[in-house]
Amino acid sequence: MGNKLEQLLNSLIEKGWKPFWDERIVPYVKIDYRQIAFYKLCDDWMYQWLFDTDIRTVLSKESLLWQFVCENKMVRLETDSWENDSYRCYYNDDGYPKDYFFEMERDDYRFWLIESALKDESELEDFLLSNIKIEWQ
């Protein structure tokens, strides 16, 4: 994992993402050997380690990453891997075989939760970097 992922996560925090509902987290994310360290501001000038996690956990529902990214229209919808149906995907509503499926837009955070859950661990960093866009105003 690299510097680009650190930059992306720090930028998301600067934009207002509160990882895991924690208001204390500051844009001082560090990555070391596949561990992602989140920090909080301790004093006006000092950071204190808060917790370490992995990229799979950062992409989970509990981190609020995909919810934040989708609500703030930071998803790259133009990167499309679906051949015939570029902005919709069909998933079974509750995970069990049924006759009815619901339609999910690609700007729905649940779509991205499912997509990231299906990725191999080695693909997660590239998946994250290629599907989130940060635009500074």
Q: What is the 3-state secondary structure (H, E, C) of 31-98?
A: EECCEEEEEEECCCCCEEEEEEECHHHHCCHHHCHHHHHHHCCCECCCCCCCCCCCCEEEEECCCCCC
pTM, 2 dp? 0.77
Query: What is the C-alpha separation between 116 and 111, in angstroms, rounded?
Result: 9
* Mean pLDDT calculated for residue range 123-134: 92
Whether the pLDDT of residue 17 is over 90: the answer is yes
Indicate the pLDDT class of residue 103, thresholds 50, 70 and 90: low
Whether the pLDDT of residue 9 is over 90: the answer is yes
